């Protein structure tokens, strides 16, 4: 298990207490993509994990314009 995997697992589970220290290390890629080309920001926006979305955006490194395999952005998922 690496930092990328931990970030994904924690973000998907909505575990703010795990995501925050991972992001603070500066050693995780907040824009890593899964098999559907979704980033942690896209996934958490899609599933309503608002606290995690705020943490990811707070890094200043999350690409808000990143598109998944269906051409969807984090904002388009959040708007649903």
Domains of the chain in sequence order: 3-78 (1.25.40.20)
Residue 22's SS3 state is helix
| Radius of gyration of the CA atoms of the chain, in A | 11
pLDDT at 1: 61
Tokens of 5: 């995997």
| Ordered per-residue pLDDT tens for the chain, 80 residues | 667 789 999 999 999 999 999 999 998 999 999 999 999 999 999 999 999 999 999 999 999 999 999 999 999 999 98
Cα–Cα separations (whole angstroms), residue 61 to 7, 20, 21, 23: 14, 14, 15, 10
Please tell me the pTM assigned to this model: 0.91
């Amino acid at each position: 298990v690496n930092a990328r995997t931990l970030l994904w697992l924690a973000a998907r589970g909505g575990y703010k207490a795990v995501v925050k220290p991972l992001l603070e290390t500066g050693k995780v890629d907040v824009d890593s993509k899964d098999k559907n080309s979704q980033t942690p920001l896209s996934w958490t926006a899609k599933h309503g994990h608002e606290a995690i979305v705020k943490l990811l955006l707070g890094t200043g490194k999350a690409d808000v314009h990143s598109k998944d395999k269906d051409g969807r952005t984090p904002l388009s998922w959040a708007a649903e």
